[in-house]
């Protein structure tokens, strides 16, 4: 994404657009001419045009995208290869990145001080490579669309099955869209594993998994990096569990009782008001909840604690946890509502016919029958609580302590990921890589919970459907 190349890329897209139009029109006219000549083509004229448009559009479009994606990578490689040999000897990745940034800013015309001769030469080479690459892209695009227009024009014939061609391409595109989801998952797992693997080359695996001290900011000198226990994830994970537990203690009863009330006792009118209001709670961005926690809830908890004489930390786990609980209420209540609604009517009618009150029907018949769905919903809420980021980044602490006291300040996995990575781009220190290791743990834990919860929900639905 090099800004200087953007106009040329736009130009390439423009050529493509024009070519698609031209190809479509030429083939449409050709098909019409055949029809006017008295023979009936297999496909409608529009399909002949559409076939040309797609055959021109799809490969060229992907070529341009790939080109734009890989052009900076290739150019950087070429510039690096052209530097005097031995320039990068003994330098860390961060320093190499710094040199490349300087070369890039010289190339962009922003020169600070008097850079070395070889840096100026490299910047010149960078500029000329970028210009060449941009022109090359336009030239290749033009050549490609010209060839494709000629090719598709020759396909127009009465017995050519243009509709089948179009449908094959469209189907292939749709399959491609569907596999994007798989690529995203592969991308997540791949990138996390790659960086995590590099992290474990610097910090031993068991130190990370079983270490009880987390002090990622300390390592400054090389010899401190492997200092024992500096990257132990246990206190961070414990903090996550403390906050998630508080959140669930708040969210579960409120969510379940409001679902029971809405499902069993509320009139349709009340339901139609209460449900959307609860959904508003679910739609509020988490950064807003975070601000709410520091603005209102944390001071309230602290002054309440001061009245009771309790020592409450400024960013107590209680504030972040309870606000997160409020966020999860609509989540749990809608899952519980669905689960109660999925219980067959016959069970409820049977219970009421035997003389039980609506309350007894809910608590002794519907609720037990809906337990699997409710548990699935609660598990999904737990996974959300573990993965929730903004509330804890704003309202929870930064220091990892081995404590389960909710009045203390604790930190969480997501807080550490964000604080380790904000403003830091070099991927060579254990500090930044630790964030990816934490991300991997977070991904795996939530994945296991999600798969388990979703399978419970699905299985249970199948039983009653």
| Backbone phi, psi, residue 297, to 5° | -70, -50
Q: How far is the CB of 393 from another protein (least distance, A)?
A: 7
Residue from 50, 235, 239, 290 in contact with another protein (CB under 8 A)? 290
Distance of CA 153 to the CA centre of its chain: 43
- Minimum CB distance to another protein smaller for 121 or for 254: 254
Regarding 147 and contact with another protein (CB under 8 A), the answer is: no
Which of 3, 37, 90, 309 touches another protein by CB under 8 A? 3
How far is Cα 459 from Cα 375, in angstroms, rounded to an integer?
Answer: 12
| Residue of 163, 200, 227, 452 that binds another protein (CB under 8 A) | 163
Smallest distance from another protein to CB 454, Å:
6
Report if residue 434 touches another protein, rule: CB under 8 A. no
Examine residue 414 and tell whether it contacts another protein (CB under 8 A): yes
Query: Quick check: 140 and 13 in contact, CB under 8 A?
Result: no
CB of 103 to another protein, least distance (A): 13
109 binds another protein (CB under 8 A): no
Cβ proximity to another protein: between 238 and 381 the closer is: 381
Q: Contacting another protein (CB under 8 A), which of 11, 13, 261, 452?
A: 261
Beta carbon nearer to another protein, 121 or 188: 188
284 touching another protein, by CB under 8 A: yes
Tell me how far apart the alpha carbons of residues 241 and 449 are, in angstroms, rounded to a whole number: 14
CB 324 within 8 A of CB 385: yes
Q: For the segment 307-336, give every residue that binds another protein (CB under 8 A).
A: 326, 329-330
Total of chain residues touching another protein, rule CB under 8 A: 95
Nearest Cα to Cα of residue 376 among 325, 326, 321, 451: 451
Specify the residue, 231 or 292, whose C-beta has the smaller distance to another protein. 292
Q: In the stretch 8-47, what mask flags binding to another protein with x, by CB under 8 A?
A: ----------------------------------------
Can you give the chain as a three-state secondary structure string? CCHHHHHHHHHHHHHHHHHHHHHHHHHHHHHHHHHHCCCCCCCCHHHHHHHHHHHHHHHHHHHHHHHHHHHHHHHHHHHHHHCCCCCCCCCCHHHHHHHHHHHHHHHCCCCCCCCCHHHHHHHHHHHHHHHHHHHHHHHHHHHHHHHHHHHHHHHCCCCCCHHHHHHHHHHHHHHHHHHHHHHHHHHHHHHHHHHHHHHHHHCCHHHHHHCCCECCCCCCCHHHCCCCCCECCHHHHHHHHHHHHHHHHHHHHHHHHHHHHHHHHCCHHHHHHHHHHHHHHHHCCHHHHHHHHHHHHHHHHHHHHHHHCCCCCCCCHHHHHHHHHHHHHHHHHHHHHHHHHCCCHHHHHHHHHCCCCHHHHHHHHHHHHHHHHHHHHHHHHHHHHHHCCHHHHHHCCCCCCCCCCCCCCCCCHHHHHHHHHCCCCCCCCHHHHHHHHHHHHHHHHHHHHHHHHHHHHHHHHHHHC
By CB under 8 A, the residues from 171 to 210 that bind another protein are: 171, 173-182, 184-185, 187-188, 191-192, 194-195
Which of 149, 387 has the CB closer to another protein?
387
Site for another protein in 64-83 (CB under 8 A): 69-70, 72-73, 76
Of 134 and 286, CB closest to another protein? 286
User: Given the complex with another protein, which of 255 and 406 has the nearer CB atom?
Assistant: 255
- Binding-site string for another protein from residue 373 to residue 402, where x marks contact by CB under 8 A and - marks none: -------x--xx-xxxxx--xx--------
Q: Which stretch binds another protein (CB under 8 A): 83-91, 135-143, 210-218, 446-454?
A: 446-454
Question: Which of 140, 225, 274, 399 contacts another protein by CB under 8 A?
Answer: 274
**78 versus 180: smaller Cβ distance to another protein:** 180
353 forms part of the interface with another protein (CB under 8 A)? no
Residue from 155, 403, 405, 450 that binds another protein (CB under 8 A)?
450
Q: How far is CA 278 from the centre of its chain?
A: 25
Considering the complex, state which of residue 70 and residue 206 has its C-beta at the smaller distance from another protein. 70
> Using the rule CB under 8 A, which residue among 91, 218, 287, 463 binds another protein?
287
Q: Does 93 bind another protein (CB under 8 A)?
A: no
Is position 369 an interface residue for another protein (rule: CB under 8 A)?
Answer: no
Residues 6 or more apart whose CB falls under 8 angstroms from that of 111 comprise 105
Pick the piece of the chain touching another protein (CB under 8 A) from 13-21, 122-130, 288-296, 306-314: 288-296
């Amino acid at each position: 994404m090099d800004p200087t190349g953007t106009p040329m890329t736009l130009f390439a897209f423009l050529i493509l657009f024009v070519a698609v139009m031209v190809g479509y029109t030429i083939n449409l006219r050709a098909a019409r001419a055949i029809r006017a000549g008295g023979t009936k083509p297999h496909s409608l004229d529009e399909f002949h045009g559409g076939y040309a448009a797609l055959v021109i559009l799809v490969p060229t479009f992907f070529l341009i995208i790939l080109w734009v994606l890989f052009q900076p990578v290739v150019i950087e490689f070429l510039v690096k290869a052209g530097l005097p040999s031995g320039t990068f000897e003994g330098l860390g990745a961060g320093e190499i990145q710094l040199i490349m940034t300087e070369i890039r800013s010289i190339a962009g015309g922003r020169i600070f001080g008097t850079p070395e001769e070889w840096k100026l030469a490299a910047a010149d080479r960078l500029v000329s490579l970028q210009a060449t690459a941009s022109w090359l892209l336009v030239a290749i695009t033009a050549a490609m669309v010209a060839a494709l227009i000629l090719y598709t024009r020759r396909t127009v014939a009465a017995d050519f099955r243009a509709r089948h061609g179009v449908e094959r391409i469209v189907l292939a595109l749709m399959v491609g869209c569907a596999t994007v989801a798989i690529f995203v998952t592969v991308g997540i797992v791949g990138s996390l594993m790659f960086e995590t693997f590099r992290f474990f080359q610097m910090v031993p695996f068991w130190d990370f998994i079983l270490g009880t001290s987390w002090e990622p900011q300390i390592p400054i000198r090389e010899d401190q990096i492997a200092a024992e226990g500096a990257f132990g994830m246990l206190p961070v994970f414990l903090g996550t569990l403390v906050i998630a537990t508080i959140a669930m203690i708040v969210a579960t009863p409120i969510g379940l009782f409001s679902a029971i009330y809405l499902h069993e006792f509320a009139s349709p009118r009340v339901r139609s008001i209460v449900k959307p209001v609860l959904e508003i709670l679910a739609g509020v961005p988490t950064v807003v909840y975070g601000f709410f926690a520091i603005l209102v809830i944390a001071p309230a908890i602290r002054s309440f604690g001061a009245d009771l004489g309790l020592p409450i930390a400024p960013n107590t786990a209680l504030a972040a946890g309870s606000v997160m609980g409020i966020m999860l209420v609509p989540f749990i209540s809608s899952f519980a509502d669905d689960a109660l609604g999925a219980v067959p009517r016959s069970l409820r009618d049977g219970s009421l016919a035997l003389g039980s009150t609506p309350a007894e029907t809910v608590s002794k018949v519907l609720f037990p029958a809906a337990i699997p769905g409710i548990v699935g919903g609660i598990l999904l809420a737990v996974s959300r609580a573990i993965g929730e980021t903004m509330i804890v980044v704003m309202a929870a602490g930064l220091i990892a302590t081995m404590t389960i006291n909710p009045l203390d300040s604790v930190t969480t996995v997501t807080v550490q990921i964000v604080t380790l990575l904000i403003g830091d781009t070099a991927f060579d220190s254990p500090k930044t890589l630790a964030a990816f290791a934490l991300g991997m743990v977070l991904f795996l834990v939530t994945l296991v919970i999600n798969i388990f919860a979703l399978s419970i929900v699905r299985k249970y639905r199948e039983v009653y459907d």
